[in-house]
Amino acid sequence: MSLIDTALTEVERHLDEDEVVGLARDMIRIPSIFGNEARIAEFIASRLESWGFSPRFVEVPGFGPDVVVDYGDPGLPKVVLSGHMDTVEVMSGWVHDPFRASIEDGFMYGLGSLDMKSGLAAMMVALKAISESGLQDRLHVSFQAVSGEEKDGDGTRTLIRAGEFEGARAIIVGEGFGGLNVVTAGRRGGSYYEIEVRGKSAHGAIPHKGINAVVEASKVVLALDSMEMVRADGVLADDLAPLKESQTVLLMHGGTGSLTVPDRCTMKVVRSTVPGGKTDISDDIRSVIAGLGLQGSAEVTFKSGPKDLYLPHMTSSDSPLVRAVVSSVRQYTGSSPTVVCGVSEADDNLIAQETRVPVICVGPGESGNLARYHQAEEAISIGQLGTAAKVFARTVLDLS
């Protein structure tokens, strides 16, 4: 038996699958809507301490602290297991108590069950099993529970600035969009634009004497909707459809509410970009607007501030990280996961563009009609949680 097989057998002996489910339930029962992560951070740190670790708090302004723990030989390249503690708000339409973590017919219901407290629990139990196997001289692993992911990724941004990813050879974000059937090896980016349309004010009872900026902006919206979206050849999205760009008008605001023709209307637009595609399409938008023959004027601004731009990324399918996790999933599920590119920007975009370290996203999750991310009646099938913990543990051993 090889050294890794011997270590894996020992890790599996210490890994309690029921403990993953119980830990996930405990965390779901702690409300942690973004900006209010302090209580769950304290819980996670306390649980890690009870297992013999020495967790550290990293303060995140405006949010609860991140929790970081390192295990193993600091002289070795480390594998990072990362996940966020926060959730979105409670959406309307819940039938189950979103904070009870009730289990029915093999599904656990609760806010954060998918996004992503089950993934956090699986990573924590995987780390515990590795430590109980006495492998501290053979590997280096760092666990990170971060805050503020659902807002602007402030928790991960803080860890990047603090140097917590230095020395990493691979990073795994434990959120499973699609579950263990897929490995999200990349993500589309997010390029944001502000478009300001200017008209001419006039009394609302004599609109022909003015130029209505809201009406002009509406023409821009319709024109933007007809723009061609780029397809990424040979890459699948996490719904297994061919990956291509999308574009959304997120905000449109104009007028004052008085009986006045609006002289200004502002829009916020996002283009979800694909790996290998253009990041800045400001000139394309300007060209579309120029063809409209607007009576007023329009100014397009590409937002490139520190929290505005998410670059697309794709970790190669031939990388040791992707190969290791695909092999681990195959071992415990009997089938090979599909390597995909996620359609939504997330913390792994930030990690990839700032650290240049290979990063993927994989873990327990759901697909199809069960993928109720950011929706009422969020739930996860509990049978996959222990399997996910084994996948995390084996991948760490393989990379180490």
DSSP track, 226-282: TPPPPEEEEEEBTTSSEEE-EEEEEEEEE--SSSB---EEEEEEEEE--TTS-S--H
Per the listing, tokens 């397009």 go with 300
Asked if 16 contacts 127 with a C-beta cutoff of 8 angstroms, the reply is no
pLDDT of amino acid 6 = 85
Q: How confident is the model at residue 12 (pLDDT cuts 50, 70, 90)?
A: confident
Rounded Cα gap, residues 297 and 302, in angstroms:
17
DSSP code string of 176-191:
-TTGGGEEEEEE--BE
Rounded Cα gap, residues 269 and 197, in angstroms:
13
Rounded Cα gap, residues 16 and 390, in angstroms:
10
pLDDT of amino acid 375 = 97
Q: How confident is the model at residue 289 (pLDDT cuts 50, 70, 90)?
A: very high
| Predicted model pTM | 0.93
Two tokens at 384? 């996959």
The string of pLDDT tens digits covering residues 91-145 is 999 999 999 999 999 999 999 999 999 999 999 999 999 999 998 999 999 999 9
Say yes or no to pLDDT of 1 above 80: no
Asked if 229 contacts 297 with a C-beta cutoff of 8 angstroms, the reply is no
Per the listing, tokens 């969009």 go with 177
Task: Give the closest residue to 166 by CA, choosing from 104, 293, 74, 286.
Answer: 74
- Strand 56-58 relative to strand 264-272: parallel, antiparallel, unpaired? unpaired
Average pLDDT over residues 378-400: 97
pLDDT of amino acid 2 = 64
**Average pLDDT value for the chain:** 96
Asked if 195 contacts 285 with a C-beta cutoff of 8 angstroms, the reply is yes
Asked if 83 contacts 66 with a C-beta cutoff of 8 angstroms, the reply is no
pLDDT of amino acid 175 = 93
Rounded Cα gap, residues 212 and 229, in angstroms:
29
Break the chain down into helix, strand, coil percent, rounded to 5: 35, 25, 40
Average pLDDT over residues 234-252: 95
Euclidean distance between the first and final Cα of the chain, in Å? Answer: 17
Asked if 79 contacts 139 with a C-beta cutoff of 8 angstroms, the reply is yes
pLDDT of amino acid 3 = 66
List all residues 6 or more positions away from 371 whose beta carbon is below 8 Å from its beta carbon: 114, 177, 178, 365
The string of pLDDT tens digits covering residues 253-279 is 999 889 999 999 999 999 999 999 999
Determine what percent of the chain is predicted with pLDDT higher than 90: 94
pLDDT of amino acid 7 = 86
Average pLDDT over residues 334-359: 95
Asked if 176 contacts 119 with a C-beta cutoff of 8 angstroms, the reply is yes
What domains does the chain contain, in order, with CATH numbers? Answer: 3-187+310-399 (3.40.630.10), 191-303 (3.30.70.360)
The string of pLDDT tens digits covering residues 183-236 is 999 999 999 999 999 999 999 999 999 999 999 999 999 999 999 999 999 999
Please return the burial class of 170, using the count of CB atoms within 10 Å of its CB with bins 0-12, 13-18 and 19+: buried
SS3 143: strand
